[in-house]
Amino acid sequence: MEKKKQAIAIPTSVISDTPHLREKTSKIGLIGRAAAIFNIDEIIIYPDNPRKAKQRKDADVIALLLAYMETPQYLRKRLFKLDPKLQFAGILPPLRTPHHPLNRKAEKLKVGEYREGVTLSRAKEGLLVDIGVENPALMRETSWALGKRLTLQIVNVGERVEVQTASRDEIPSYWGYTVTVENHSFGKLVESGKFDLTIATSKLGADFMDVAGEIGEEWKKSHRVLVAFGAPARGLHEIVRDEGDNLDDVVDFVVNTVPRQGTETVRTEEALLATLAVFNVQFRG
């Protein structure tokens, strides 16, 4: 049975209201944690003001920080070069997801468990792979390029640890998110047909509890769900209107998951936590 895939879409300008890189990093840390807490498979960063040249630069910052967060600590030095955009990465909170194991001892590995790894070098028997323990593991598949990140399964823990490639879809536990920078507008993203259920969040949307039953019916039938969020200065209604479209015509549902809010605005990272928490309770499974 195909696993349900859940994606969130956040605007590039999500960090526009925080001028300093340290605060931007902190905000992205909250978004990455929320995504991991609620088992999000993909984070899509969409341009909400394509006319602004700075948007591509901001999208790159968001994508880099989210990807760094998602990467197990033991692989980060191998996969990320020194970059000024990562100078405050130390304040990013750890994800503590199953693919970020604390065990660094080969003797504690178990046959059948999964790890993330990076191919290091070629050996007579295959490829040597860093899986976060004292010595590289052996992978007998040789078709992979060096420096490639792979999802792996432990097949032998004897004198030498051996691994084989695995698909994320076969792993029963949550295995992190991927990050996608969308070049097209939000409307084009939804129209791509990649998702069979699309939900936009907005304070102008229907009260969540008034449409929860209807959404729930569609949720059960869907394999790929997209939940989208607006920007600090402009909601999704305004973003889509500027694209020449109507939000209610673009997505399946527009909902307000924070009705009767006590503040004038709800920040994107706050809406993310509130919305995913409500969906997690209402649509489990």
pLDDT band per the 50, 70, 90 thresholds, residue 159: confident
pLDDT score, position 3: 80
Do residue 212 and residue 127 come from a single domain? no
The residue-averaged pLDDT of 210-224 equals 95
- Residue 180 in any domain: the answer is no
Q: Is the pLDDT of residue 53 over 70?
A: no
The residue-averaged pLDDT of 138-150 equals 95
Please say whether the beta carbons of 200 and 228 come within 8 A.
Answer: yes
Q: Is the pLDDT of residue 237 over 70?
A: yes
Q: Is the pLDDT of residue 50 over 80?
A: no
Separation of alpha carbons 262 and 284, rounded Å: 28
Q: Where are the alpha helices (DSSP H) in the chain?
A: 21-37, 54-70, 73-79, 186-191, 208-221, 236-242, 247-250, 268-282
pLDDT band per the 50, 70, 90 thresholds, residue 266: confident
- Residue 173 in any domain: the answer is no
Do residue 125 and residue 262 come from a single domain? no
Do residue 10 and residue 53 come from a single domain? yes
pLDDT score, position 193: 84
- Residue 179 in any domain: the answer is no
- Residue 178 in any domain: the answer is no
Separation of alpha carbons 86 and 92, rounded Å: 10
Do residue 114 and residue 65 come from a single domain? no
- The CATH number linked to 48 is 3.40.1280.10
Q: Where are the alpha helices (DSSP H) in 144-253?
A: 186-191, 208-221, 236-242, 247-250
Separation of alpha carbons 150 and 139, rounded Å: 11
Q: How many domains are contained in the chain?
A: 2
Separation of alpha carbons 166 and 154, rounded Å: 10
Do residue 10 and residue 87 come from a single domain? yes
pLDDT, greater one: 18 or 145: 145
What mean pLDDT is reported for the chain? Answer: 93
pTM: 0.94
Q: Which residues are CB-neighbours of 36 under 8 A, at least 6 positions away?
A: 70, 95, 97, 174, 176, 177
pLDDT score, position 284: 73
- The CATH number linked to 161 is 2.40.50.140
Please say whether the beta carbons of 233 and 13 come within 8 A.
Answer: yes
Do residue 189 and residue 92 come from a single domain? yes
pLDDT band per the 50, 70, 90 thresholds, residue 263: confident
In this predicted model, what pLDDT tens digit does every residue of 66-85 receive, in sequence order? 999 999 999 999 999 999 99
pLDDT band per the 50, 70, 90 thresholds, residue 285: low
Q: Is the pLDDT of residue 270 over 90?
A: yes
pLDDT score, position 158: 85
Q: Is the pLDDT of residue 148 over 90?
A: yes
- Residue 32 in any domain: the answer is yes
* Gap between the terminal Cα atoms of the chain: 13
- Residue 175 in any domain: the answer is no
The residue-averaged pLDDT of 195-200 equals 96
The residue-averaged pLDDT of 211-226 equals 95
Do residue 77 and residue 146 come from a single domain? no
Rounded to the nearest angstrom, the gap between the alpha carbon of residue 234 and the centroid of all alpha carbons in its chain is 23
Do residue 81 and residue 31 come from a single domain? yes
Q: Range of 142's domain? A: 107-167
Tell me how many degrees the CA angle 40-252-264 measures, rounded to the nearest 5.
75
